[in-house]
Structure 1
Amino acid sequence: MKKIIKPVLDFIANWKHRNMKGARHIRLGRLGEDLAVNELKANGYKISERNAKVYKREVDVIAMDGDMIVFVEVKSRSGHRYGRPIEAIDNKRKGRLRKAAELYLAQKKIKGASVRFDVVTVDYTDSPKPKIEIVKNAF
């Protein structure tokens, strides 16, 4: 009986640990998005949408910067084990965001608009206060 119970208990403990870690990851991501939106507003951006669903894609933030429509990807990191936040924006992610922007503009019937792609990085690593950076025209 003990031979059966121990593996089950180990599995449950590991599962709980993984899910707790995932929950922390999600909380940090949401906090990062909140901080990013506040920083964008402080820099004059007008927020149009957050977590905009465009077909099967999602755009973290859609904002206006003057007459420019800005599609914003937010990246947060609590450590540099997997690189700095900006390094998480690979070509695949850039392509997805470009496609989402194209679909969004078509869905809203917006033609001839000036569009830009910005990235906001939120780095919790080096101090108690996160470092927030807006990278305009990131790609």
Structure 2
Amino acid sequence: MRAKDALGHHGERVAADYLEDRGIRVIDSNWRCASGEIDLVALDGDELVIVEVKTRSSRRYGDPLEALTRAKLARLRTLAVLWAREHQRVIGPLRIDAVGIILDRHAEPSVDHLKGVA
């Protein structure tokens, strides 16, 4: 596995633990289809939450959440529908969240969770 991929997977695990600690239940991760990928799928009460995780080893090149684009956020809505269809779920309330992770090996992970970004 490439170092960049390993960093991303580690960040997704940190994000999942962070969400679970706050009562948001992660029900799927790294779901892929021909149209793209969803990092995490979770439930916050009865609300389906699609979570985009951005991980960096430092802020040297900016904050991880600065890498989110409008196009990516729009694609996540489409992916949410495709995920729900594949898992035979009816989409009620839907929220798109973003989690930025800094994994500096000399410090505890830094987590920035933005709810309802799209």
Query: How big is the shift at 1:126?
Result: 9.8
Distance 1:99 1:123 in 2: 28
Residues 94 and 112 from structure 1, CA distance in 2 versus in 1: closer, same or farther, beyond 3 angstroms? closer
For the 8 Å contact 2:84–2:91, the answer to whether it is kept is: no
- Aligned equivalent of 1:33, options 12, 17, 20: 12
Structure 1: where are the runs of 5+ without partners? 1-21
Query: How big is the shift at 1:92?
Result: 1.7
Total equivalences in the alignment: 118
> Which structure is higher in strand share?
2
2:67 maps to which residue? Answer: 88
Distance 2:70 2:9 in 1: 23
For the 8 Å contact 1:47–1:64, the answer to whether it is kept is: yes
Deviations 1:104-127 (A, max 9, x none): 223334335110001111023596
Deviations 1:67-124 (A, max 9, x none): 0000000001123343211111111211221211122223334335110001111023
Identical columns (%):
32
TM-score, structure 1 normalization:
0.75
Larger Rg: 1
- Aligned-residue Cα RMSD (Å) equals 2.0
- Aligned equivalent of 1:105, options 75, 78, 84: 84
Q: Which amino acid aligns with 1:62?
A: V
The runs of at least 4 aligned residues of structure 1 exceeding 6 Å deviation read none
TM-score, structure 2 normalization:
0.87
1:116 maps to which residue? Answer: 95
2:42 maps to which residue? Answer: 63
For the 8 Å contact 1:122–1:133, the answer to whether it is kept is: yes
Deviations 1:33-86 (A, max 9, x none): 110000010010111101112343110000000000000000011233432111
Structure 2: where are the runs of 5+ without partners? none
For the 8 Å contact 1:36–1:74, the answer to whether it is kept is: yes
Distance 1:95 1:82 in 2: 24
Quick check: 1:134 aligned with 2:110? no
